[in-house]
């Protein structure tokens, strides 16, 4: 994805969708980042709940206002994986 064409990525779904989107961004060879918005629409939505985004309306309020919250991301490698 050419992220220069976009100002953000919007993930609509649950924790699985958020996981996939974040991992996709983190695996970019060029290491470029882009803001990611979350709209809860899954079964668990624990990530959104932790950010106090309880429903679609609250998620859209963050997106339309352009509010951002920085979140730490950690990469864990298994014994057979390497950088």
Question: What is the DSSP secondary-structure string of 38-50?
Answer: EEE-SS--HHHHH
Q: Which residue of the set 15, 46, 67, 79 is catalytic?
A: 15
Cβ(38)–Cβ(53) below 8 Å: yes
- 68: β partners: none
Active site residue 15: yes
Give the catalytic positions in this structure: 15
């Amino acid at each position: 994805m050419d992220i220069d064409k976009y100002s953000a990525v919007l993930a609509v779904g649950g924790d699985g969708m958020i996981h996939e989107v974040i991992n996709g961004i983190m695996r970019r060879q060029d290491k470029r980042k882009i803001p990611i918005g979350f709209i809860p629409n899954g079964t668990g939505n624990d990530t959104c709940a932790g950010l106090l985004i309880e429903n679609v309306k609250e998620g859209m309020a963050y997106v339309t206002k352009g509010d951002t919250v920085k979140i730490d991301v950690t990469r864990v490698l298994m014994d057979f994986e390497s950088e």
